[in-house]
Amino acid sequence: MNAAKPKVSIMMIGEQPGDREDKEGRPFVGPAGQLLDQCLEEAGIDRRDVYVTNTVKHFKWEPRGKLRIHKKPNMKEIHACRPWLEAELETVKPTLIVCLGAVASHSLLGSNLKITKVHGKVQQVEGLPPIIATLHPSAILRAHTDEDRHRQRHTLIDDLSRAAKFLSQ
């Protein structure tokens, strides 16, 4: 009897678990995950067709009072976690990768990439499925003004809609 292989259209890759994700042991279950779910729905993507993971597999943080505040992972940590990401890619075999934010985008597309220049456009990297880079939902939540949050949210939804369109071709 053959074991069923996972069938996922989109693999979404974020930066690293956040505080809540670290505590629950699952990616994108906190505020950024809730925003991602809303944006996926608005873009017409069924979350059940999405495999969500992170580039870095541990929560890097610093204490601030009783809070654990996120710290950006460095390239050594990104490279150290790469074998796990590659194993996930090999197992899941997605049709399309969506990189959420700079860390995920840089890990697969190179550190010179500017998300503001290439977001929503299909990128090709030898040995990987097609990739679309876009904003990370947590960046939207941290935007300084309501206007910036609205504009960035629209960008994320538009990029996810482009991913859905790519898959329907």
Residue 1 is predicted with a pLDDT of 43
Q: What is the pLDDT of residues 25-51, one digit of tens each?
A: 899 999 999 999 999 999 999 998 899
Residue 127 is predicted with a pLDDT of 95
Q: What is the pLDDT of residues 2-19, one digit of tens each?
A: 455 556 799 999 999 888
Pick the CATH number of 10-168 from 3.40.50.150, 3.40.50.720, 1.10.10.10, 3.40.470.10: 3.40.470.10
Owner of token pair 């840089």: 106
Q: What residue type is 73 in one-letter code?
A: P
Residue 67 is predicted with a pLDDT of 83
Residue 68 is predicted with a pLDDT of 77
Q: How far is the first Cα of the chain from the last one, in angstroms, to the nearest whole number?
A: 33
Q: Where are the domains of the chain?
A: 10-168
Mean pLDDT, rounded, for 19-28: 88
Output helix, strand, coil percentages for the chain, rounded to the nearest 5: 45, 15, 35
Tokens of 23: 């505590």
Task: Compute the distance between CA of residue 120 and CA of residue 163 in angstroms, rounded to an integer.
Answer: 8
Residue 2 is predicted with a pLDDT of 46
Least confident of 43-47, 60-64, 83-87, 141-145: 60-64
Which range has highest mean pLDDT (16-25, 36-45, 51-60, 110-119)? 36-45
Q: What is the DSSP string of 21-60?
A: HHHHTSSS-SHHHHHHHHHHHHTT--GGGEEEEESS-S--
